[in-house]
Amino acid sequence: MSLYNNDTKSRGYLFVRNGLIITFLILFAVATIFPIYFMIISSFGDPVEAGAMSYSIFPSKISFESYKFFFNFSPHSWDWLLNSTIVAACITITNVFFATLAGYAFAKMKFKGKNILFAILLGSMMIPGQVTQVPLYILVVNIFELQNTYTALIMPSIVTVYNIFLVKQFMTSIPKEIIEAAKIEGCSQPKIFWYIIMPLSKTVMAVLAILTFMSAWNEFFWPFLVTNTMDMQTIQVGLKNFRFANTTYFAPMMAGATISAIPMFILFFSLQKYFLEGVTVGAVKG
């Protein structure tokens, strides 16, 4: 009888615990998804000033006028999307390539000063990005005179220390016996990297691509600093043009934000398999 009571008590405890966990997760999911839902719903409103908007969770009607207004508002609306695509794609490609090279060098190659250099790189991660914005701006704009160019938008983010660190930690888990066997077969370092390391690193490279593209696509502050004409602005900077001193075109701004979110969704879901593998790497032994 006591065993039955203990079993019943255990089942009741598990039921309450699981119910609380599920409730918390549902509330967290709703809080996370609601801003995206509100952005999409608001984008279907009429292109009127923010003061005349009727905000509601459930739209009374569906209209695509705000999307038309977004593209007709400025002759550079398409340029904003093109600029963001070029900048984000270039930054993603360079980060994946150079971070993979550097991560391989730090993880599997031996050279003098490797540990010191890696420690310096890790130390640079402790410096807030806001601290380096002023000297970086002076360097790019005043010294190199690259303001309002793709070079100014791309060059500071060619490769990041975090991506190098992430790749290095991943490649540390690759057995060194594979590389030694390739060297015995006569493979050079470029061949080892291209034919052995890169195929084994597809997971971490996909994770780098997703995280880097999202970061570059959503960047606002640096493109805002180094661009001074509308034709060179990215989509995130271009959206600020819908806000004026006395009013804001809220629905067209939400339409532009919805359009700007589409590439990120496409990239994430196309590489979702590799991203999930990257998250679970090292979680299971065997």
CB 170 within 8 A of CB 201: yes
- 264: Cβ–Cβ under 8 A, 6 or more apart, which residues? 213, 214, 217, 218
Q: Which tokens in the block code for residue 190?
A: 């470029």
Q: The whole model's pTM is what?
A: 0.84
Tens digit of each residue's pLDDT, the chain (286 residues)? 444 455 555 787 888 888 999 999 999 999 999 999 989 998 888 887 655 567 777 777 788 898 999 999 888 999 999 999 999 999 999 999 999 999 999 998 888 888 999 999 989 888 888 888 999 999 999 999 999 999 999 999 999 999 999 999 989 888 888 888 888 888 888 888 888 888 888 888 988 988 899 999 999 999 999 999 999 999 999 998 888 767 788 888 999 999 999 988 888 788 777 766 655 554 444 4
pLDDT attached to residue 202:
86
CA 125 from chain centre, in angstroms, equals: 17
Amino acid at site 270: S
CB 167 within 8 A of CB 99: yes
CA distance 196 to 104: 11
pLDDT attached to residue 1:
46
3-state helix, strand, coil in the chain (%, to 5): 75, 0, 25
CA distance 129 to 146: 20
pLDDT attached to residue 278:
55
> Angle between the 65-73 and 77-108 helix axes, to the nearest 10 degrees?
80
